[in-house]
Amino acid sequence: MARRRERTPQAEDEEDGVAGMAKAGRVRLFLDETLAPGAMPELGPERSHYLRHVLRLPVGAALAVFNGRDGEWQAEIVAYSRESCRLAVVRLRRAPPPVPPADLWLLFAPIKRTRIELLVEKATELGVTRLLPVITQHTGVARVNRERLLAIAVEAAEQCDRLTVPDICPPESLTRVLHDWPEAGRQLLVCAESGPVQPMATAAVALAPGPAALLVGPEGGFSAGELDELAGRPFVVAVGLGPRVLRAETAAVAALVCWQALRGDWSVGGSVDVRPPFRAGPPCP
């Protein structure tokens, strides 16, 4: 006789969260295809199983879909088959913003699997447009599972009401990244543990408007040669993240929060509420 799997408090919380999300009509899916009224995208076995057996959404249930280009659309489940699910796109729910969101890249030295997955999830939630794994002298992890990281980024974008999914680039050496750096005015703020730096907040406020990037080093820090190479580039600004030594993933999140609060899409419009329109109404009952 098969042994019944015990229900842990964590599993119960996750199931309650999924059920609540479905009940509130807040299910969102990223679809890499054109969205327009009358479109009828077909979902594969994995997503069909998710909607039918995990969320238990019936035919006729509403959900939101987005593709990173055409805004967010309301769709309905038209039919289930054995290994697929057919949707019908009904109407535009949220148009793409008239002004593109802040163009912010995150460069990071690959770290252990659970921590790099956390980093990608939080960077997606914090609005990063591109993630670039950078191999440095002290990088302890050289291989990156881009497919897995992209799946994590997609899931994070679905859950945080984001309209786009960040690009995830293949790993490259720091020297190659600096050599190929674009010349379109993109400044690179390097989170350095040693050497002369500006406070992160000071540097963020002082930079000219335009695209930007943040670079977080490996757990062992940058080598002296790498810091010299970075200091010799005109587009590089070395910044500090306070008096404590932070883990790589913590440093990335801290730098992103500071940037978004001072220069990014948290501060767009001054005192204007920049949340999606449906978030600005009364709270859920």
Would you say the CATH fold of 104-262 matches that of 24-94?
Answer: no
pLDDT tens-digit series, residues 53-109: 999 999 999 999 999 999 999 999 999 998 999 999 999 999 988 777 779 999 999
Entry pTM = 0.86
Q: Which fold has domain 24-94?
A: Ribosomal Protein L25; Chain P (2.40.240)
What's the pLDDT band for 5 if we cut at 50, 70, 90?
very low
Which of the pair, 264 or 137, is modelled with greater confidence? Answer: 137
pLDDT tens-digit series, residues 127-162: 999 999 999 999 988 789 999 999 999 999 999 999
Domain definitions of the chain by residue range: 24-94, 104-262
CATH 3.40.1280.10, applies to 104-262: yes
Structure tokens at 14: 């996750």
Bridge-based pairing of strands 72-80 and 28-30 is unpaired
